[in-house]
Structure 1
Amino acid sequence: MSTDLTAAERAELDRLRRENQLLRVEKEMLLRIATEYALDARPSRTQLTHAARVDLPRTATR
């Protein structure tokens, strides 16, 4: 059994390898974007401290 590829098989293999590399790059970019978005969406330490100091309306407990 021969393991040599035909010209069409070689061309398809090359195309699939390029596509695979592109998908890896896109995945990495999306992961970085999502991570940055998640970090930006978190309240900062200053915001958390300020929120803890805000007086909330008190309800009658009697």
Structure 2
Amino acid sequence: MAEVTPHQIVDHLLSRQQDEHVTVINAANQFYEKAILPDVDKAPGTKRIIAVVVHRFFIPHF
């Protein structure tokens, strides 16, 4: 069994993984999925427009 320190256990439980690479597109997608989609006060059209904006501004077009 691999040795695990208490600090590693706390980091895992609190989702503080330091080796994770966070990109802008990942952060924008997570924000959309966790804050915009579940919001019942926003109309479906508004949610669709926000998705288009996130897609156009954060995905590189080459």
The two structures share one fold, judged by TM-score above 0.5:
no
Q: State TM-score, norm by structure 1.
A: 0.25
Bigger Rg, which one: 1
Considering fraction of residues, name the structure with more helix: 1
The structure whose RCO (Cα within 8 Å, separation 6+) is larger is: 2
Q: State TM-score, norm by structure 2.
A: 0.25
